Structure 1
Amino acid sequence: MTTAIPFLMFEGRAEEALTFYCETVPGSRILDLQRYDAKGPGKEGSVSMARAEIAGLKVMAFDSPVHHAFTFTPALSLFVDCASEAEQERLVATLGEGGGALMPLDNYGFSRRFAWVNDRFGVSWQINLP
């Protein structure tokens, strides 16, 4: 069966980011994590491949052994529907800390409570209360 999974490319912070997401977003966990060894091609101990489940969404991530002139863009984001206002406020505050708000928590017409933030790793999150 053909499948598609979001893939997050970091440069040395994949494990930190996945741990942060799994501690922050309910129903999340790291499924497996493999590291580069002394033979490389990445820095020894950094993530060669990881799989996680974030609120039921499976994602893959790794630390690129190659430096790139780009990072994440808000054009691709993780969209989270929250169960309560309290959960939404916590996620917006926690995920947005050290990042920035693209759309502060508000009623935008298409949603009664919505926010869009970049986290400290550069990943973009749309946080909705349906």
Structure 2
Amino acid sequence: MTAVTPFLWFDDAAEEAVAFYTELIPDSQIVSLRRYPDEVPGMGGKVMHVHFRLGGRDFLAMDAGPQFPFTEAVSLYVSCADQAEVDRYWDALTSDGGQEQPCGWLKDRWGLSWQIIPDRLMELIRHPDPDVAHRSVQAMLKMRRIDIAALEAAAAGG
């Protein structure tokens, strides 16, 4: 079976970022890390290849310079059970230079985009009553960090 694995290109912070991600997200670990040899000009000691797991899913990353920065075209989606989980991820990922974005999106300090989305949001925007779904979407569009209580109030017509 063919495996498809996301591969993240960092300027020079793969090791720091991967350590942060694997500490933050349960069921995560660094599987292996290999460094560039000192003979590689300007890259000696940096991360040539790191295999890690986030939430049980495999990822690869490397340090390779600033030529290709992250964009919002690719993001990591985190499905959250409740507001406490939303808040924990949001606070951690926006700390130390991360940036809040609209509709539950953010960029971490390395510029990688994340979607921190409570399961309740998905339930409300898929609600069988189109008015409930519409009110939920309209409320979400005004948010940065998703607020479940505010979504539920909007869905109820409040």
TM-score (norm 1): 0.83
**1:122 pairs with 2:122:** no
2:139 counterpart residue number: none
1:12 counterpart residue number: 12
1:99 counterpart residue number: 98
Query: How many residue pairs end up in the alignment?
Result: 118
The gaps in structure 1 that reach 5 residues or longer are: 105-114
Normalized per residue, the structure richer in strand is: 1
Is the partner of 2:18 in helix, strand or coil?
helix
Cα distance in 2 between the residues matched to 1:77 and 1:42: 29
Q: What is the correspondence of 1:23-42 to structure 2 with a 5 Å cutoff?
A: 23-40=23-40
Rate the CA distance shift 1:7–1:41 in 2: closer, same or farther, 3 A: farther
C-alpha deviations, 1:16-43, integer Å up to 9, x for none?
0000101111221111100011122552
Rate the CA distance shift 1:102–1:34 in 2: closer, same or farther, 3 A: same
Identity of aligned residues (%): 42
Give the alignment's Cα RMSD to 1 decimal. 1.5
Normalized per residue, the structure richer in helix is: 2
Is the partner of 1:32 in helix, strand or coil?
strand
Matched residue type, 2:99: G
Rate the CA distance shift 1:20–1:60 in 2: closer, same or farther, 3 A: same
Cα distance in 2 between the residues matched to 1:56 and 1:5: 12
Matched residue type, 1:23: E
Is the partner of 1:80 in helix, strand or coil?
strand
TM-score (norm 2): 0.69
Higher relative contact order (CA 8 A, sep 6+): 1
1:22 counterpart residue number: 22
Is the partner of 1:34 in helix, strand or coil?
strand
The gaps in structure 2 that reach 5 residues or longer are: 120-158
Cα distance in 1 between the residues matched to 2:12 and 2:84: 32
Structure with higher Rg: it is: 2
Q: Is the 8 A contact 1:82 1:129 kept in 2?
A: yes
Is the partner of 1:50 in helix, strand or coil?
strand
- Report the alpha carbon displacement of residue 10 of structure 1 after superposing the two structures with TM: 0.7
- Report the alpha carbon displacement of residue 83 of structure 1 after superposing the two structures with TM: 3.0
